Each structure stands twice: as structure tokens, then as C-alpha cells.
Amino acid sequence: MVEDLLFDTRLKHEITQQYEHDETKYICVESGGKEAVMHFTRSTGGSSANLICGVSQLGKYYLGYFSKLGVDHISKWLIEDLLAFGINTDGIVIEKEQFISPGASAIITDTKTKDRSILTYRGIGDEIDVKDVQAKEDYLRNAEWHTISSFSNLDAYHALERILEIEKENDIKLFFAPSMSIIGPLLDETLEIIRQAYLVALNDVEAKMLVGTKDLIKAAEKIQNLGPDFVLITRGKQGLLGIDNRKIYTTDRIYRVAVRNTVGAGDASAAAFWHFWRKGVDKPALLSRISAAGGIKVRLSGAKAGLATEGEIEKLIRDEGEISVQTINR
């Protein structure tokens, strides 16, 4: 869990590079230059916290959070935010022996593209080790599902290995939403976690990097073949791709809304994915609801602003209709 600092700017310089299959955009500030910030906000964030807060808006669940924070005022503020979303914080390890700041992310969004770049300081959350897991083992065992999101070093991974053992021992299902901060430095370890995961959610860039291919369908198949029941891949404006061991499901569009910016859209989509999967909706309806949750989220700026309720998702679908889903047999 981190503090998010969001800067909306109207950048004059944007580089677009065309590769063989994909267009890559760079939000840039010229060296030595200055850019005016049009809007600035401060909020709590971090993909794992955004995801669990998104779930809290969708249904009545008993939700808990395992992480590590300090005794500073920002850590206190982060905990208060989780409590405001009805999330139990007894699983948070409080480090009292030394002062290590919690994480922080500077999120720079371009008002033209509505997209963002993120500069992240991992902070004390990246100091989680096996002893921290051992201190909260009873808390971690008392769950039907776990979700794992952000870590970026081997000490944290060794702590997660113990969490994976707890899941096996207690038949706890794993929902894994890996990010580039994990995939980049710890590729093999990320693949190992996917082998135990029940559900996996990631974006198209992450999926291609994870298995080393530019073909998204092949990437999806390779990831699902590792073991998950279902893999969701978000593709921005191009829609969604889902895959199980029998079929591939794709949409070619998203719900058209007035986009403020895309911060937190992936986490909101992942929250809807877990919620509606658990409710047992069929796969086409699942993809429509995931898309609607993402569409509702991007209307507002901020990682947690605009997190959808189930009622809001269903209303958007009633107003706009179900998104068409194409299926391909594997």
C-alpha cells in the first residue's frame, strides 16, 4: 500500500515509436525543461489496496489485508483509509524498531492521451520477510481466497513462498494480479506463482513480457497452460481477452465513456473479475461486467475515485447493452 501523488499535465512533447506489432507511447518531459501541472491530488493507492477496496464496493465480504507499515503519520493515514472501506487491518505488520517510510508513487498523466507514467518508491512494504508471515500465519490461514499483487525482491518472494504453502495446506484459492514491477526483476518467480494461482489478471504488455512473445493469443495460452482456471488480459481500448482450458473469449471494444484518466482502471477491472467470477456469471457476461467496471472507473481521476458498485455496473450494461463476446475453441 502506498501514497499516490497524481499530477495531471498537458505535455508539449510526446514520443511515439512504432514497432512491428505494437505502438509504444512515451510521456516525456524535455531534459532541463519545466511543465505546468494542471491538477494535483493526493490519495492512498497501491494495486493490492486498490483491488481490495474495489471488491469492498461490489459486495458484502469480510476482507483483510496483509502488508507492512511503520508508525509514521502516512502509515496511519493508509490504515485509516482501509478501515474506511470496511477492511480489517489486523494483518498489517507494524515496524516499530526503525523508521522506514511507506511506499509512494508519483503518477504523471497526460491530459491529451489520458494515459499515465508511474514513478514508484517501494518503501517499507518491500521489506516483508518470512518472520512477518510467521507473525500473521493465523490471520493468513483464516481465508477462502488470497490475492497477491506487488513485490519486487527475493526476500519478499521468500515470504510469499510461505504464503503459498499456507494456501496449499488450507485449500485457499489464489487470485494473482502481477505487475511489471514483479515480472521485470522476478520473471521465473512470477511464473512459479502463476502455477498455483486459480485466477490471473494482467494487461497485454505484461502478458507478452511474461512469456516472451508478441502474439497475445499465444501468450494467453502459455499463461493458462501453467495452471490457472481462467486468465483475464485487459487490452485498453481494444477490449478484453479471457481464456480457460476450453475456449478463448474476446471483445473488440469497451464501453465508451468520457475518460478523465486511466489510473486504477486495471485494479477496478480485476476487482470486478473476482467478484463476478465468484457469483458464477457466464463468461460473456463476465467480460461485459469487467469492461463496465473499467469504464466507470476512468470517468474520475484518482486510484480509488470512481470504484464501481454492482448496481452502477448493471445500470451501465442496461443502458448500453451487453458487449459482444467472440469465442474460439482451443
Domains of the chain with bracketed CATH: 2-329 (3.40.1190.20)
Q: Tens digit of pLDDT for each residue in 124-180?
A: 777 888 999 999 999 999 999 999 876 778 888 899 999 999 999 999 999 999 988
Q: Which residues of 114-148 are buried (b: 16+ CB within 10 A; e: fewer)?
A: bbbebebebbbbbbbeeebbeebeebbeebebbbb
Assign 273 to helix, strand or coil: helix
33, three cell numbers: 525543461
Cα angle vertex 271, ends 267, 277, to 5°? Answer: 140
Confidence of residue 252 (pLDDT cuts 50, 70, 90): confident
Q: How confident is the model at residue 134, as a pLDDT? A: 96
Closest CA to 193 of 204, 178, 180: 178
Choose between 40 and 87: higher pLDDT: 87
Q: How confident is the model at residue 21, as a pLDDT? A: 53
CA dist list (Å): 306 to 23, 35, 70, 279, 296: 28, 27, 29, 22, 6
Query: In this model, does residue 306 exceed pLDDT 60?
Result: yes
Interacting residues of 80 by C-beta distance below 8 A, sequence separation 6+: none
113, three cell numbers: 492521451
Q: How confident is the model at residue 22, as a pLDDT? A: 63
The rounded distance, in Å, linking the Cα atoms of 170 and 208 is 32
Q: How confident is the model at residue 6, as a pLDDT? A: 76
84, three cell numbers: 474506511
Q: Tens digit of pLDDT for each residue in 82-105?
A: 999 999 999 999 988 666 677 777
Share of the chain above pLDDT 90, in %: 53
**pTM here?**
0.86
Cα angle vertex 284, ends 281, 285, to 5°? Answer: 45
Q: How confident is the model at residue 177, as a pLDDT? A: 93
107, three cell numbers: 503518477
Q: How confident is the model at residue 318, as a pLDDT? A: 93
Cα-Cα-Cα-Cα dihedral of 274, 236, 302, 187, to 10°? Answer: 70
